Structure 1
């Protein structure tokens, strides 16, 4: 499953995220009362601590976080970037998109003050997590597997897992932001970030009315095999937020997962007003030079975008405020150009 997961200026969102990175909990510099933006970091931390205890519902029932967390381990897809966006430094994290380094995209990497311990994704080492002595485990975009949850809960600390409708990695960026913000006592910051990113989506949609109502097919090629993303996946959600409509025939193939295999005989199903493709573990030419793909009508007409930039592809796939903002800045012009051909 892991292999399927898939401009540095980030506008207004970056201003809030920079401020958040300097204030908030899990700080390594308690001596600095006022950060570089003029925010009183001590007051921010006090405000956060006043939020507790908090109770968060989810697929496995309610979880209560009694006090402001100071040692956060972020295991879910996008949890580390979301915590960083809120100003919290995870001490352990999982690298779902194989970034290496600190395990987050370049749009978030500089927010780390100290490198986290990287933990395996699909099967995290319970021993490694325990050794970090966490007081909160975030696993808000994950499989929703009961055995994974039970193993982590066995450590005796709160595990904030997927929402009741979030199994199979379909937790939305809005849900993730709400849940992580509440668990960290930073709901107000989470609301600010949500508003900023939503405003960016609204602006792009307003500036590109030609997107509204157009069908889109979003797919990938991995190991020589095609697959389609369906409604509920973050990549598709990004496109629909811009006004596109996910091709209904692809959604009809969904079987409870965010990704469905597409045989060579079915590749024509990617025909849409706009076709968007991700090469995974292979160059873009593995798609663009494939005669089966080239025969798709929308591709023949030039109405397709194949992501040949790994950073952009990962931003598009990240499902985080930082990554999505980067993707909007960078990918939207390519969508507009492809539709206009």
Structure 2
């Protein structure tokens, strides 16, 4: 695929959540779904299976053959487990492509019907005649869940988890169970966990190091708090999100940072990326340049769109790519 001119889906997501004030949920990777069937992967023996969601238990009676994947990273997660959706939200779609992150190696044999991300057409979804809808990381409203459930069994986010706050572990577990691919899901989860463990072991300097993770949009700077996937990524490597940022956390996973507060982004390691703007719009700002972490080379600007998409994806395949590409940047910054 060609390089994308903008982080379309992710940028829309961030903007929508910051503006509407959606709450963050449980960030843990604890079990969030309980299967009642067997553990055979990709087989009818795994069904029926019942999965606990924020809106009650959902039972998938038979192995699904027509899956619509609506949640952020649901499509690439299903694909990683060997199932091609017939419909998928256009989170990262640009210029008619398939909406998959550039790190996804498998690709589709037959591209799915793309569904509008923020305002999906329920008529278009119904027309695909799905027997399963994956919506594990989305706007997470009961109304949305009920409307989708009228079409097909719908796997929404786990109980106690807010909009877009499903962790990659929870997503992988739920999608694996719903597809009858628990073995594949467990293998992929183990691969990702091992990749994080290997990266952390290779860089003991990460352990306990203070980090500030921020973004810059047309509205200005902001910072992420615990409960956000990007912070979880850093925490799994051993970093600790800056206490002063955590102290300002509300129900959002993102707090605005005025230019007068820009010192909040100064940390032992500062990681900032642009959304819908060029990085030069903030890297040339004298206030940014005056931050000690910037002056001392301890600031990393993620301006490669593929890397940034993967870092923000909160999906198992995306995280593997993000680990390969970002960890060396963090290590170099701390090394001075």
Distance across 2 between alignment mates of 1:5 and 1:322: 20
- 2:258 corresponds to 1:250: no
Name 2:282's counterpart in structure 1: 287
1:172-206 deviation per Cα after TM superposition (whole angstroms, max 9, x unaligned): 00000000000001111100000011111100000
- 2:108 corresponds to 1:112: yes
1:43-99 deviation per Cα after TM superposition (whole angstroms, max 9, x unaligned): x98752101000000110100000000000000001001001100001111122345
TM alignment of 1:48-59, pairs within 5 A: 48-59=43-54
TM alignment of 1:67-78, pairs within 5 A: 67-78=62-73
**What is the TM-score with the length of structure 1 in the denominator?**
0.85
Stretch of structure 1 that moved more, 114-123 or 191-200: 114-123
Mapped contact 2:70–2:88 kept (Cα < 8 A)? yes
**Bigger relative contact order, structure 1 or 2, given CA contacts below 8 A and separation 6+?**
2
Mapped contact 1:143–1:169 kept (Cα < 8 A)? yes
Q: Give the unaligned 5+ runs of structure 2.
A: 1-8, 15-38
1:200-241 deviation per Cα after TM superposition (whole angstroms, max 9, x unaligned): 110000000000000111010111411111111111111111
**What is the TM-score with the length of structure 2 in the denominator?**
0.86
Name 1:33's counterpart in structure 2: none
Name 1:31's counterpart in structure 2: none
Distance across 1 between alignment mates of 2:259 and 2:252: 20
3-state SS in 1 of match to 2:56: coil
3-state SS in 2 of match to 1:55: strand
Name 1:84's counterpart in structure 2: 79
- 2:1 corresponds to 1:3: no
Name 1:23's counterpart in structure 2: none
Stretch of structure 1 that moved more, 132-141 or 100-109: 100-109
Q: How many residues align?
A: 303
Mapped contact 1:71–1:91 kept (Cα < 8 A)? yes
TM alignment of 1:204-283, pairs within 5 A: 204-283=199-278
Mapped contact 2:40–2:183 kept (Cα < 8 A)? no
Name 2:4's counterpart in structure 1: none
- 2:136 corresponds to 1:140: yes
Name 2:34's counterpart in structure 1: none
Name 1:151's counterpart in structure 2: 147
Name 2:5's counterpart in structure 1: none
Q: CA deviation at 1:338?
A: 0.5
Mapped contact 1:136–1:159 kept (Cα < 8 A)? yes
1:233-275 deviation per Cα after TM superposition (whole angstroms, max 9, x unaligned): 1111111110100112212222222222211211110111100
Mapped contact 2:40–2:180 kept (Cα < 8 A)? no
Distance across 2 between alignment mates of 1:108 and 1:281: 23
Q: CA deviation at 1:166?
A: 2.1
Distance across 1 between alignment mates of 2:242 and 2:94: 31
3-state SS in 2 of match to 1:62: strand
3-state SS in 2 of match to 1:198: helix
3-state SS in 1 of match to 2:223: strand
Distance across 2 between alignment mates of 1:98 and 1:166: 26
Q: Give the unaligned 5+ runs of structure 1.
A: 7-43
Compared with structure 1, are the counterparts of its residues 4 and 120 closer, same or farther at alpha carbon in structure 2 (3 Å cutoff)? Answer: closer
Distance across 2 between alignment mates of 1:308 and 1:222: 13
Name 1:124's counterpart in structure 2: 120
1:301-330 deviation per Cα after TM superposition (whole angstroms, max 9, x unaligned): 110100121110001011111111111111
Question: How much is the aligned-residue C-alpha RMSD, in angstroms?
Answer: 1.7
Distance across 2 between alignment mates of 1:144 and 1:254: 21
Distance across 2 between alignment mates of 1:206 and 1:114: 40
Distance across 1 between alignment mates of 2:103 and 2:297: 30
Mapped contact 1:168–1:257 kept (Cα < 8 A)? no
- 2:192 corresponds to 1:197: yes
Name 1:38's counterpart in structure 2: none
Name 2:92's counterpart in structure 1: 97
